[in-house]
Structure 1
Amino acid sequence: MTDRVLELLRTRPDLAELAAFPFEFDVDSAYHVEEVHLASGASLEPIAGDDAGGTYFLCGGTAVLHASSEGDASLLADSVGEALEILVRLPAWCENISAELDEESLLAEIRAADDEAREEFVPDLDARRAALISGLGLPHRPLVELLAMSESATRRTEPDFVLLNSHELCAYRLDESFRQPLRDIVLGPGREALERMRSGDLGAWEEAAADPILRAGVLRAARYDRRDGDLPLLRFLLEHESAARTEWYEERRSAAVLVASYGQDRDVPLLRSATAGQVTDSAGAVEWARAEEAKRHGRDVIAESEFTWIDLAHRQGRLEHARVALIRMLDDTGPDADRLRELSRALERIGDHAQAARAQFNLLSLQDTARDRASEACVLARLERRKGDLAAAGRALERARAAVGADGTTPDGEVPQWHRLGLGRLITEQHLELTLAAVEAGDEELARTTMEHSRLLLDGIGKESAKALSRLSTRAKWAVAGLRPPAA
C-alpha cells in the first residue's frame, strides 16, 4: 500500500514544491550518492532528497530513514506523514531545540529561528507552512510530543534500520547517545528474573530452572549485582547448571564462582562436582573463586568482552542485535589479526557470510607464514562460496594454492609436506565444494577449472586424506561429467 502523504507529494506538484522548499523534502531528488541496503535485509526505497545531498528512504514500506551524504543515518519517523510533521514544524534551521525544553520554550526557539529564516531566505514561510500542513492533512500535535516521537524513532534505528554501504559493507554512523549498549539489552530479561527470584516469586524460580538461556542471563545479572542474601538462589542455579550439563560450560563455571565465594562447607560437594575436583574444601573454594574472578574482570561489567553479549544475544534469538554489534566492531577494527579472526567466526555463526568474508579478507592480508595464508584463504573461500560469490571463492583458492605452490608456481614460503598434512585435505576439500557449487550455479567454466585443480590435489595429498574425501570427490566428478561438452 502506498503511503497517503507520499502519494499526495508525488501527484500534487504544488505540494511537492512546498515540501522541497523550504523544508528540504524533495521527491524529485529521490536518489542516493552510493548504493546502500539495510543490514536486516528489509526493503529500502529512496523517496526524497535534501539540500545537502542526503536522502530519505522508505523502509519496509512504512518507516522513514534519513541518510546524510557524510555517512550518518537514523530513523526519522514511523511514516511519511510523521516525517513531514517533524520536518515542517521542527525545521532544520532551528538548531537549539532539545527534549529538556517544555512546550512554551520550544515554541519560543522555533519562532526565533523562523524569524531569521524569513529574513534570510523564505519571507513567505508562514504561508508555505500553512499550505503544506493543510494540503497534506497533517495533525497539529504539541511540539513536545512531536520531538519525543522524533527522538524515539532515532533510538529505534538499531537494530532493524542500520544502513550499509553495499560495496564496502560498512555501516552508516549513529550518534552514540541514541545507541543502547548491547549488554543492557541482553541482560534485561536476566535482571528482571533475578529481581523476581529475590522477591520470592516461585514462578521466576521455575522459569530459570526450565530455561537455560534465561538462567544464563540471571547468572550474568547476579555476577554484576551481588546481594548478601543471594546464596540460596545461586546454589539453585548451580544445581540446575550442573544437572543440565549443557555445552555452555561458562555458565556452570560462573555459577560455581558465585557459590564458592561464600565459602560454605555444605556447598563443597556440589562445587567439587561442578569444578571437576578443583574445589575440595570451603577455604579453597574462596581462593579458587577469587582466582577465577581475577581472570574474568570480577564485577566490572564494562570490562567484559563485547563477544560475551553478542553470544548471549545470539542465544536469545536477537540475531539483528548481534549482527549490528559485530558490524560496528568490524568497522572499528584495524590490523588486529586476533580480533578479525574472532569477528569472522562470530559473523559466520550468525549466518552473515558477507560480513564474515569482509573480516576474513582483512585477516588474510595480515598472515605472515605460507601455512597461515593457505589456511585462512581456505576459510575465505568457504565464506565467499556461502555468500554466493563463486568467482571470489575461486580467487581465494588461487591464493591458497599459491601459498604452498600447489599450482606449480614458486610457493610463498616453506610448508614442508603440506600435501601430506591436514592443510592438503583442507585445500582439496574446498576445491571440491566449489566445484559442486559452480555446477549448481551453472558456471561451467569455473566448475571444470576447479575440478582440474581438485584432481591434481587428490593425486598429491596423503592416501588417508584422499580416502576421507572420496565421497565428496565422486559427487564432484559426476557433477562435472554431467555438464554439456565445452564448445569446440
Structure 2
Amino acid sequence: MRLASGKPLEPIAGDDTGGTYFLCGGTAVLHASSEGDAVLIADSVGEALEMLVRLPEWCEGLTSELDEDGMIAAVRAGDDEAREEFAPELDAQREALLSGLGLPRRPLVELFAMAESAAGRTDPHQVLLNARELCAYRLHESYRVPLRDVVLGPGREALERLRAGDSGVRKAVADDAVLRAGILWAAYEDWRDEGRRADGRREEDVPLLRFLLERENTVGSERFEERWLAAVLLASYGHDEDAPLLRSATSGAVGSGAVGAWAAGPEAERFGREAESPFTWIDLAFRQGRVEHARAALIRLLDDTGPDAERLRRLSRALERVGDWAQAARAQANLLSLQDSAWDRASEAYALARLERVKGDLAAAGRALHKARTALGLEGGAPDDSVAEWHRRGLGRLVTEQHLELVAAALEAGDGDLARTTMVHARRLLGTVGAESAKALSRLSTRAKWAVAGLPRSGA
C-alpha cells in the first residue's frame, strides 16, 4: 500500500477484523479496513487513541446531531452490549488506558467532531492505494467534498464581491485568468438555476458579464472556452447593444438581432454538458494549483471507469498532466486493451511505452513496444490493412523514437541487456521507416548506436 500523494506511510497497528492503522506523513492516522475502505481518523496518534478508547466502533448511532447527553447515552448503550458479549472488564480497561497513556477527557461531542473533521480531510492528501493494482481504497460519500464546490469556492466569493461593487477584487479579476474562469462558472451555475425559477435571471449581472467578456476578449487567451461561456451568459439577456462585443468575441457567430436566440441554442447545451463533466472541475483544480485534488479525483474516476475508450484516453492524458505516470500508464493499458485495429493498437502501445519509461518501469516499456511491433506485423503474424503504410507515416517515426528513447533510458539505468535488445529492434525500424523520419531521428539514433557499441560484450 502507498499514498497517492507520495507522502510517507507506515503501518503502526492492526485490529481484530484484519484492518490496519497507518501513520501518514509522520503525524496523521489512517485506518484501512480489510474490505477496501480507508479513512483518516485523527491528526495524531494521541487523538486516535482517545477516539478508539472513548468512541469504540461498537457504539452505533453516533451522529453530529446528538448533544453531549445523547452521545453519552449512545456510548453507554454500546458499552452495555460489549460488556455482556466480550468485554466484561471494559470500564477498568478503559480507565487504565486513559490514565496510563495520559489521554485527555474531552467532551464526547468535541471528540466526535474531531473524528468527523479528520474523515472529511481524507481526500486529497491521504488517498490510500493498493500498490499492485493502484486502485484507491474507498471513502464513504459522506466524507467526500465535491470537487466542484472546492474549485468554485474562490470564484463564488469573488463573484459576490464583484456584485457588491468591490473595486479591489475587480482589478484582481482583470489580471487573473484562472480566477475569471472560476467566476464565470459560478455565474453560469447561478444563471442556470435562476433560469429555472419563475422570477428569471438577475438583470444587475449584465454590466458584470460585459466586463468579464471584454476582458476575455482583450486578453485573447488560447482557452477560448471561457470567452464563449462569458458570451453565452451575456447573450442570454438578449440586449441588442451587446451584439458588436458578442460578434467580436465569437468571431462573428452571433448575428445582429439574434443575440438571445444564439445563447439558447447548441452553445448553451454544450456548456450544460461541460458543467456535468468531472473533467471540467479537474481541469480547473489543476489550473488553481490544486494538483492533489485533481489527482485524487482522477484516480477515483479511473477506478469507476469501465470499457470506455474516450474516457480512458482523457484520464490517461489528464493523469500525465498532473505528473502521475503510474496512474496514466494504468489508464493507457486499459485503453490499449480496447483497440480493435492494428493501427490503434500500435498507436496506444507506443504511448504506453512512453509512460512506462518515464515512470521508470523499463521492462514494462519494453513489453509495450513489443505490442506495438506485433500490431505492425514485425513480430510475426499478419496485421490488418490499417497499418499497410505505417512506415511511411508518422506512426513509424513515433514507434521508432520510443525504441531509441528506451535504449537511452536502459543505458542510463545500467541495463545493458535491455539496451542491446531494444537497439536491435530500433535498427530494424530505422531501416524500414521513411527517409524523412530516419533523418529526423538521426541525432538520437547516432547517440544510441555509439553508446550500445561501447558496452562490454556479454559474458566479458
Give, in angstroms, the shift of residue 272 of structure 1: 1.4
The TM-score with structure 1 as length reference comes to 0.90
Structure 2: runs of 5+ lacking an equivalent: 192-201
Give, in angstroms, the shift of residue 263 of structure 1: 2.5
1:433 aligns with 405
Q: Distance in 1 between matches of 2:453 and 2:396?
A: 24
Find the partner of 1:260 among 215, 229, 235.
Answer: 235
Contact 1:191–1:217 under 8 Å retained in 2 = yes
Find the partner of 1:121 among 79, 86, 105.
Answer: 86
1:9 aligns with none
2:133 aligns with 168
Residue deviations 1:198-257, cap 9 Å, x none? 000111111110110001000110011133211111111111111111121111111111
Residue deviations 1:334-368, cap 9 Å, x none? 11111111111111111111001111111111100
Residue deviations 1:168-222, cap 9 Å, x none? 0000000001101110100000000000000001111111101100010001100
2:148 aligns with 183
Contact 2:350–2:372 under 8 Å retained in 1 = yes
2:253 aligns with 278
- 2:264 alignment partner, SS class: helix
Q: Distance in 2 between matches of 1:428 and 1:143?
A: 65
Opposite residue 220 of structure 2, the aligned amino acid is R
2:8 aligns with 43
Tell me if 1:141 matches 2:141: no
Contact 2:229–2:271 under 8 Å retained in 1 = no
Give, in angstroms, the shift of residue 297 of structure 1: 4.8
What does 1:345-364 correspond to in 2, within 5 Å? 345-364=317-336
Find the partner of 1:193 among 143, 158, 161.
Answer: 158
- 1:167 alignment partner, SS class: coil
Contact 2:232–2:268 under 8 Å retained in 1 = no
1:29 aligns with none
Tell me if 1:290 matches 2:255: no
What does 1:200-349 correspond to in 2, within 5 Å? 200-226=165-191, 227-281=202-256, 283-298=257-272, 304-349=276-321
Contact 1:406–1:457 under 8 Å retained in 2 = no
What does 1:444-463 correspond to in 2, within 5 Å? 444-463=416-435
Give, in angstroms, the shift of residue 38 of structure 1: 0.4
Opposite residue 394 of structure 2, the aligned amino acid is G
Residue deviations 1:410-430, cap 9 Å, x none? 234232111111111111111
1:23 aligns with none
1:10 aligns with none
Q: Distance in 2 between matches of 1:473 and 1:252?
A: 45
Contact 1:428–1:454 under 8 Å retained in 2 = yes
1:22 aligns with none
What does 1:66-85 correspond to in 2, within 5 Å? 66-85=31-50
Q: Distance in 1 between matches of 2:230 and 2:454?
A: 57
Q: Distance in 2 between matches of 1:138 and 1:293?
A: 60
Contact 2:19–2:31 under 8 Å retained in 1 = yes
Identity %: 70
Q: Distance in 2 between matches of 1:96 and 1:287?
A: 54
- 1:262 alignment partner, SS class: coil
What does 1:386-425 correspond to in 2, within 5 Å? 386-407=358-379, 409-414=380-385, 415-425=387-397
Opposite residue 428 of structure 2, the aligned amino acid is L
Tell me if 1:88 matches 2:62: no
The TM-score with structure 2 as length reference comes to 0.95
Q: Distance in 2 between matches of 1:347 and 1:465?
A: 29
Give, in angstroms, the shift of residue 296 of structure 1: 1.8
Q: Distance in 2 between matches of 1:64 and 1:446?
A: 42
Q: Distance in 2 between matches of 1:475 and 1:285?
A: 60
Q: Which shifted more, 381-390 or 398-407? A: 398-407
Find the partner of 1:381 among 350, 353, 367.
Answer: 353
Residue deviations 1:5-33, cap 9 Å, x none? xxxxxxxxxxxxxxxxxxxxxxxxxxxxx
- 1:466 alignment partner, SS class: helix
Q: Distance in 2 between matches of 1:362 and 1:328?
A: 15
Give, in angstroms, the shift of residue 74 of structure 1: 0.1
1:17 aligns with none
Q: CA 1:248 to 1:159, structure 2 compared with 1: closer, same or farther past 3 Å?
A: same
Residue deviations 1:97-122, cap 9 Å, x none? 11111100111111122122222222
Q: Distance in 2 between matches of 1:362 and 1:431?
A: 22
Opposite residue 216 of structure 2, the aligned amino acid is E
Q: Distance in 2 between matches of 1:341 and 1:469?
A: 27
1:8 aligns with none
Calculate the aligned-residue CA RMSD, in Å: 1.3
Q: Distance in 2 between matches of 1:289 and 1:475?
A: 57
Contact 2:366–2:406 under 8 Å retained in 1 = yes
Structure 1: runs of 5+ lacking an equivalent: 1-35
Q: Distance in 2 between matches of 1:411 and 1:472?
A: 30
Question: After the TM superposition, which parts of structure 1 deviate over 4 Å for at least 4 consecutive aligned residues?
Answer: none
Opposite residue 237 of structure 1, the aligned amino acid is L
Q: Distance in 1 between matches of 2:180 and 2:83?
A: 60
Contact 2:129–2:135 under 8 Å retained in 1 = yes
Tell me if 1:99 matches 2:64: yes
Tell me if 1:471 matches 2:458: no
Q: Distance in 1 between matches of 2:276 and 2:270?
A: 8
Q: Which shifted more, 110-119 or 380-389? A: 110-119
Give, in angstroms, the shift of residue 264 of structure 1: 2.2
Contact 2:240–2:259 under 8 Å retained in 1 = no
